[in-house]
């Protein structure tokens, strides 16, 4: 353990493993705080999460000055380089009056992302591989572009390859050489020019492919499954003591990866969803007893549905996988929509694709269905809901006019180029990943934590989940905007 005081550089000797550190942080309570008006309080010590480094299993790795210092165009200002004592706290909100929410033992921290003074790769010898896996997400091509341009321009790397068809491409496809000219306009294109796939994961074959092609830097862009795969590749690389640094760049339109603030492409998807909600609203408003029903992506999380609902304000009810709902009875969906139709003449329902899966009748075969990566295959909750709504209306209001317009913009919200905010985010992610890899870190993921970019061990990301917390303020906000039932089923 190394004890350092924040602000004082206590850089461990170069080449040593950058392991766990203790940082003691004591601070005074803000005088504006009503609860602790004048009292001092002490925050617990900080534990810095260790980050794997190539030097952990490869002795004698060279320590080279960063090529950034030799750039004729850019002269780093003091404080530009990030040192091993630069950290980001995982949690930043505490209730000092509650022993439960005030961390009693230690505060968790991560290394900050960014350029280091020294690198562990000779740029002219680097052979970098970039792969995209899993479903599409706005910004994939931007990340690829910025990895290529960043490696080329910032560090002078010249051998950069795209691996086609996802993980299987490492052992079944020919890598494609990439350069800045080739990728120049890619950030304006949806999808992934490299192509992607699900399934086909075989750690041994993939590592053999990495060795065969002489790759020493591997950039894996993908979602939770991709990160779990990257952990296995990382373990295999470590077992074989290869000089290969592997990093993950979390991609998921569902925003279901934990620890990081959000994943790239998510904001673009939320923005695209507005068009579908607007159309559903217009259709519903223009009908007699009209219901506009929109199904949005979200396999196990309702983040897109939730954010699209909050941004739109035209939504009467938002259904997400994290919050079970029911149709009939007191405070059920039908009763609620009946009231809304009486009040407003129309209603808009947004449903995440993973919502209600437990109440849709299905055969045993359907229960077993999985995609190539092992993800469960869902039934179409939107189509089912549309039928159920029609049956309910015919039962309860026979002969009265009623319309359900079902809009399923599934692939339209993810098969688009990233918006400006996501493009900027993708650029920062790509550059952060490059800086970490060039510095010799491996088995890590880069992402924003409380607004600043950090490096998180792949193992941690792979098991992390980001579900909508139906007990927090954001979900309470949805309920205050829509006034929808909580579906707790405690009223009968
Ligand atoms: N537990 C796992 N171990 C090893 N490889 C995995 C694992 N889970 C998934 N993979 C592999 O990772 C790749 C991508 O996985 P998946 O299709 O689940 O997409 P994802 O990365 O989760 O992205 P998204 O779900 O956002 O589209 C596939 O090649 C899959 O075989
Ligand atoms: O049809 P595909 O390409 O398998 O992807 C569908 C899934 O991918 C995601 O977009 C991301 O995981 C999910 O929301 C959706 O269930
Ligand atoms: Mg996934």
**pLDDT tens for residues 59-105?**
999 999 999 999 888 888 888 999 999 999 999 887 777 655 555 56
pLDDT band at 41 (very low <50, low <70, confident <90, very high): low
Are 475 and 307 a contacting pair, CB within 8 Å? no
Q: What are phi and psi of 164, to 5 degrees?
A: -75, 160
- Residue 459, pLDDT score: 97
Q: Indicate the pairing of strand 245-250 with strand 290-296.
A: unpaired
Catalytic residues: 254
Which CB contacts under 8 angstroms, 24+ apart, belong to 42-46?
Answer: 43/103, 43/107, 44/103, 44/104, 44/105, 44/106, 44/107, 45/106, 45/107, 46/21, 46/22, 46/87, 46/89, 46/106, 46/107, 46/108, 46/109
All residues at 6 or more sequence positions from 322 whose CB lies less than 8 Å from its CB, including other chains: 301, 302, 467, 468, 469, 470
* Mean pLDDT, rounded, for 383-396: 98
- Residue 369, pLDDT score: 94
pLDDT band at 3 (very low <50, low <70, confident <90, very high): very low
- Residue 492, pLDDT score: 53
Q: What are phi and psi of 269, to 5 degrees?
A: -65, -40
- Residue 12, pLDDT score: 35
- Residue 93, pLDDT score: 84
Q: Indicate the pairing of strand 46-48 with strand 21-23.
A: antiparallel
pLDDT in tens, 188-218: 999 999 999 999 999 999 999 999 999 999 9
As a whole number of angstroms, the distance between CA 222 and CA 133 comes to 5
Calculate how far, in angstroms, residue 153's C-alpha sits from the geometric centre of ligand 1. Answer: 31
Which of ligand 2's atoms lies nearest the C-alpha of 223? 12
340 lines ligand 2 (CB under 6 A): no
Look-up: residue for tokens 């030097």? Answer: 55
All residues at 6 or more sequence positions from 4 whose CB lies less than 8 Å from its CB, including other chains: 10, 21, 23, 85
Which CB contacts under 8 angstroms, 24+ apart, belong to 436-439?
Answer: 436/113, 436/247, 437/121, 437/217, 437/219, 437/245, 437/247, 438/66, 438/116, 438/119, 438/120, 438/121, 438/123, 438/155, 439/115, 439/116, 439/118, 439/119, 439/120
pLDDT band at 112 (very low <50, low <70, confident <90, very high): very high
297 lines ligand 1 (CB under 6 A): no
300 lines ligand 1 (CB under 6 A): no
- Residue 316, pLDDT score: 98
Has residue 153 got a pLDDT over 60?
Answer: yes
299 lines ligand 2 (CB under 6 A): yes
Are 205 and 236 a contacting pair, CB within 8 Å? no
pLDDT-wise least confident of 33-42, 115-124, 193-202, 345-354: 33-42
Query: By percentage, how much of the chain surpasses pLDDT 90?
Result: 83
Has residue 451 got a pLDDT over 90?
Answer: yes
As a whole number of angstroms, the distance between CA 260 and CA 464 comes to 10
152 lines ligand 1 (CB under 6 A): no
- Residue 44, pLDDT score: 81
Strands (E), 323-466: 346-352, 403-407, 444-449, 452-457
Has residue 314 got a pLDDT over 60?
Answer: yes
As a whole number of angstroms, the distance between CA 364 and CA 202 comes to 29
- Pocket mutation for ligand 2, best pick of 226, 297, 373, 382 (most atoms within 8 Å of C-beta): 297
Query: By percentage, how much of the chain surpasses pLDDT 70?
Result: 89
Kindly give the interhelix angle for 203-213 and 224-239, rounded to the nearest 10 degrees. Answer: 70
pLDDT in tens, 329-382: 999 999 999 999 999 999 999 999 999 999 999 998 998 999 999 999 999 999
All residues at 6 or more sequence positions from 314 whose CB lies less than 8 Å from its CB, including other chains: 277, 278, 280, 281, 348
Q: What are phi and psi of 132, to 5 degrees?
A: -115, 135
- Residue 483, pLDDT score: 93
Cα-to-chain-centroid distance, residue 66: 30
Q: Which residues pair with 130 in a beta bridge?
A: 162, 219
Q: Indicate the pairing of strand 245-250 with strand 444-449.
A: parallel
As a whole number of angstroms, the distance between CA 394 and CA 400 comes to 8
- Residue 104, pLDDT score: 57
* Mean pLDDT, rounded, for 119-138: 98
pLDDT-wise least confident of 26-35, 109-118, 393-402: 26-35
As a whole number of angstroms, the distance between CA 350 and CA 117 comes to 49
Q: Give the chain's mean pLDDT.
A: 90
For the chain, how big is the Rg over CA atoms in Å?
A: 25
Q: Is 21 helix (H, G, I), strand (E, B) or coil?
A: strand
Tokens, residue 1? 């353990």
Has residue 159 got a pLDDT over 80?
Answer: yes
Q: Is 364 helix (H, G, I), strand (E, B) or coil?
A: helix
Please tell me the residue having the least CA distance from ligand 1 atom 27.
Answer: 135
Which of ligand 2's atoms lies nearest the C-alpha of 354? 16
Of 430, 420, 367, 340, the residue nearest 130 (C-alpha): 430
* Mean pLDDT, rounded, for 408-427: 97
- Residue 101, pLDDT score: 52
Q: Check if the interface score ipTM surpasses 0.90.
A: yes
Please tell me the residue having the least CA distance from ligand 1 atom 9.
Answer: 225
Kindly give the interhelix angle for 473-482 and 303-312, rounded to the nearest 10 degrees. Answer: 50
Has residue 136 got a pLDDT over 90?
Answer: yes
* Mean pLDDT, rounded, for 280-289: 98
- Residue 11, pLDDT score: 32
As a whole number of angstroms, the distance between CA 16 and CA 6 comes to 20
Has residue 9 got a pLDDT over 90?
Answer: no
């Amino acid at each position: 353990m190394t004890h350092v005081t924040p602000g004082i550089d206590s850089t461990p000797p170069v080449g040593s493993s950058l392991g766990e550190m203790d940082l003691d942080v004591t601070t005074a309570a803000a005088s504006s705080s009503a609860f602790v008006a004048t009292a001092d309080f002490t925050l617990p010590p900080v534990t810095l999460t260790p980050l794997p480094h190539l030097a952990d299993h490869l002795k004698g790795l060279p320590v080279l000055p960063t090529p950034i210092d030799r750039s004729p165009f850019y002269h780093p200002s003091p404080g530009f380089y990030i040192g091993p004592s630069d950290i980001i706290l995982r949690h930043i909100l505490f209730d000092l009056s509650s022993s439960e929410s005030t961390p009693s033992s230690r505060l968790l921290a991560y290394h900050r992302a960014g350029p280091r003074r020294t690198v562990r790769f000779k740029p002219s010898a680097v052979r970098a591989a970039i792969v995209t896996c899993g479903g599409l997400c706005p910004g994939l091509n931007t990340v690829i572009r910025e990895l290529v341009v960043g490696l080329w321009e910032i560090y002078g790397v010249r051998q950069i390859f795209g691996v086609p068809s996802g993980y299987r491409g490492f052992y079944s496809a020919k890598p494609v050489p990439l350069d800045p000219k080739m990728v120049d306009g890619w950030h304006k294109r949806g999808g992934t020019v490299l192509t992607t796939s699900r399934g086909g994961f075989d750690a041994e074959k993939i590592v053999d492919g990495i060795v065969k092609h002489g790759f020493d830097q591997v950039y894996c862009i993908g979602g939770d499954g991709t990160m779990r795969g990257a952990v296995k590749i990382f373990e295999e690389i470590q077992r074989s003591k290869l000089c290969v640094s592997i990093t993950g760049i979390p991609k998921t339109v569902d925003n279901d990866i934990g620890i990081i603030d959000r994943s790239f492409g998510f904001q673009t998807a939320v923005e695209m969803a507005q068009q579908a909600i607007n159309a559903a609203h217009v259709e519903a408003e223009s009908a007699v007893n009209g219901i506009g029903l929109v199904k949005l992506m979200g396999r196990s999380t309702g983040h897109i549905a939730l954010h699209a609902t909050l941004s739109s304000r035209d939504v009467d009810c938002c259904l997400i996988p994290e919050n079970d709902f029911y149709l009939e009875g007191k405070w059920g969906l039908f009763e609620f929509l009946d009231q809304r139709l009486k009040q407003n003449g129309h209603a808009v329902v947004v449903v995440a694709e993973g919502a209600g899966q437990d109440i849709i009748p299905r055969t045993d075969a359907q229960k077993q269905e999985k995609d190539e990566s092992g993800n469960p295959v869902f039934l179409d909750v939107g189509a089912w809901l549309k039928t159920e709504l029609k049956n309910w209306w015919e039962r309860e209001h026979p002969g009265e006019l009623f319309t359900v317009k079902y809009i399923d913009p599934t692939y339209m919200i993810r098969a688009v180029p990233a918006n400006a905010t996501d493009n900027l985010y993708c650029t920062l992610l790509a550059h952060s990943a490059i800086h970490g890899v060039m510095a010799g870190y491996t088995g890590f993921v880069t992402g924003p934590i409380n607004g600043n970019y950090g490096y998180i061990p792949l193992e941690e990301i792979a098991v992390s989940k980001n579900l909508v917390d139906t007990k927090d303020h954001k979900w309470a906000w949805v309920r205050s905007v829509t006034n929808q039932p909580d579906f707790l089923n405690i009223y009968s």
